Structure 1
Amino acid sequence: MPAPLFTVINTFLLKDPAGAEDFERRFLDHVRWMRAQEGFRAHQAVRATERPEVYVNLGWWAAPDLFKQVMASETFQEHAKEFHRLVDVTADPSLGILRIDAEDTRAADGGGVVLVERFTVTGEAEAFEGAYRAYAQAAARLDGFGHTDLAKSLVRPGGYSAATRWSGPAAYRAAHRSPEYAAVLKLADVETLPASPVAGNRSPEVIRHA
């Protein structure tokens, strides 16, 4: 079985909300460069709908060493210096656990909403991962589901992050009323962040775990 993907989860907090346009322009330039780097597989950048000063980007890489090589490059360092003038950055390096795509991918096209969920597991990690897998598989059969990714933090004890694309809030609210999601919440506390997609690609090379 192929190795799980190294997942870089960065949260950006605008120092000045008026700088959103400048940040997005610089970020999109950065993303175009990143997509050409060895080991890059895919990414999803979103902007929180209720906290527009907050952006989150999830990047998937073939291996952490390849990402570290890119980070050490002069171009990356120049981009990072530009970003730090505009945003505060919190990094949560993680390891991909689960990736599921809907059979009908139309829900993932265009706009929609990406629900970012940060879990802190209070029970057994293996039980939580099994419960989330069962929930994700059930959610994938619902109208409005696009895709979901779950990653385990390498720095936050008991920490997991999920990003799920839905056609709209009504779709994920229906999923959250399911017994499968109730089983997830018995094993973890969760913080949710509804967000609008800013940029992303779902590379066919990315391993699908189901």
Structure 2
Amino acid sequence: MINTFTLKNPGDAGTFERRFLQHVAWMRQQEGFAAHQAVRLTATAGIYVNVGWWARGEDFQQVLASATFQEHAREFHRLVDVEAAPSLSVLRGDVPGDAPSALTVERLTLPDGTGTAPGFEAAYRAYAEAAARVDGFRHIDLTKSLTQNGVYTALVAWRDEQARERGENVPEYAALASLARRHTEPAAPLAGDRAGQEAADHA
């Protein structure tokens, strides 16, 4: 699941971030929760993106229906507009190391809009493998929208800006331009709890 939060009032950033960290602390305790990564866009003020992974859709639906989640949702809707995008994980990759400080959220749209562009997922996997060989790579995720044909979201994390620049200069990344339209946003970490790693939250 990918959620995009847009502040209704830019002055509420601190309030939203504190409330969000409390919310994800509760979510991490729920049955079926696997991991998540939340980021703050740095070039577009007031927008946050959270990517969450669940063991089963049924577990997620049960949490959504709970009284606690509904209470949290009402509080969020006073602070932000929420866009929810059900998605399917296509690939994930991690390299151990220091916590990332530079992330990229990228929306990739296949030109025919049908989700059948030949070789796109294979090409992205080749990029993920190349990125993992770059010094400073931390993790990569590619998800496919379940409601919009041919739309993918990628979240890529790097140790720092220099590592991100190196990663985006590999030829495998350039090759993706011929397969999908890209909209790229730099981001900073807000909260994360990837499988097998300690949570790293930033207030």
TM-score by length of 2: 0.91
| Alignment match, 1:160 | 152
| Alignment match, 1:74 | 67
Q: Supply the distance in 2 between the matched residues of 1:184 and 1:57 (Cα, whole angstroms).
A: 24
Contact 2:123 2:172 in 1 (8 A): yes
Q: How does 1:4-83 map to 2 (within 5 A)?
A: 8-83=1-76
1:132 aligns with 2:124: yes
Q: Supply the distance in 2 between the matched residues of 1:83 and 1:72 (Cα, whole angstroms).
A: 16
Q: Among residues 174, 188, 191, which one is paired with 1:182 in the alignment?
A: 174
Per-residue CA deviations over 1:86-131 (Å, capped at 9, x if unaligned) read 00011111000101112xx224x1x511111110012634511000
Report the alpha carbon displacement of residue 10 of structure 1 after superposing the two structures with TM: 0.4
1:99 aligns with 2:88: no
Per-residue CA deviations over 1:27-84 (Å, capped at 9, x if unaligned) read 1111011001011000111101112300001111011121111000000000000000
Q: Which runs of 4+ in 1 moved over 3 A?
A: 123-126
Q: Supply the distance in 2 between the matched residues of 1:99 and 1:192 (Cα, whole angstroms).
A: 19
Q: CA RMSD in A?
A: 1.4
Q: Supply the distance in 2 between the matched residues of 1:198 and 1:96 (Cα, whole angstroms).
A: 21
Q: Supply the distance in 2 between the matched residues of 1:125 and 1:82 (Cα, whole angstroms).
A: 41
1:142 aligns with 2:134: yes
1:118 aligns with 2:107: yes
Q: Supply the distance in 1 between the matched residues of 2:196 and 2:97 (Cα, whole angstroms).
A: 16
Q: In percent, how many aligned pairs have the same letter?
A: 56
Report the alpha carbon displacement of residue 193 of structure 1 after superposing the two structures with TM: 1.1
Structure 2 unaligned blocks of 5 or more: 198-203
Report the alpha carbon displacement of residue 170 of structure 1 after superposing the two structures with TM: 2.4
SS of match in other structure, 1:163:
strand
| Alignment match, 1:5 | none
Structure 1 unaligned blocks of 5 or more: 1-7, 206-210
SS of match in other structure, 1:50:
coil
Per-residue CA deviations over 1:140-190 (Å, capped at 9, x if unaligned) read 000110010111110122100111110222222222222111221110001
Q: Supply the distance in 1 between the matched residues of 2:173 and 2:16 (Cα, whole angstroms).
A: 35
Q: Supply the distance in 2 between the matched residues of 1:171 and 1:121 (Cα, whole angstroms).
A: 27
| Alignment match, 2:196 | 204
SS of match in other structure, 2:153:
strand
Letter in 1 for 2:14: E
Aligned length: 194
